Amino acid sequence: MSKQELLQNIDKLHTTKMGLERISKNLNINCPVVNYCKALVLQSNKIERMGKNWYVYADNAIITINAHSYTIITAHRK
């Protein structure tokens, strides 16, 4: 699977209520989480799939996205 698959489905990215809280806290952001993560995915030079998850490395953060549901599971600073 190439990163093109993730990029082609960027509009499917979403997260849960708990995910919103966790990601906001981990990245120390106070803005729309999903839009922030989409922007990081689009600017990333390193996206890899391992098992059932995508790992996006961008702007000193690592974002974990479920490859089947496109749910943003978590994100944290490197």
CATH at 39 = 2.40.10
pLDDT at residue 3, rounded to an integer: 86
Contacts of 43 (CB under 8 A, 6+ apart): 58, 59
Give the Cβ contact number of residue 56 at 10 Å. Answer: 24
| Tokens representing residue 8 in the block | 């082609």
Domain that residue 14 falls in: 3-77
pLDDT at residue 1, rounded to an integer: 62
Percentage of the residues of the chain whose pLDDT score is greater than 90: 92
Place 37 in a pLDDT band, splitting at 50, 70 and 90.
Answer: very high
pLDDT at residue 55, rounded to an integer: 97
State yes or no: pLDDT of 2 exceeds 80.
Answer: no
pTM of structure? 0.93
pLDDT tens-place string over residues 42-54: 999 999 999 999 9
Counted domains in the chain? 1
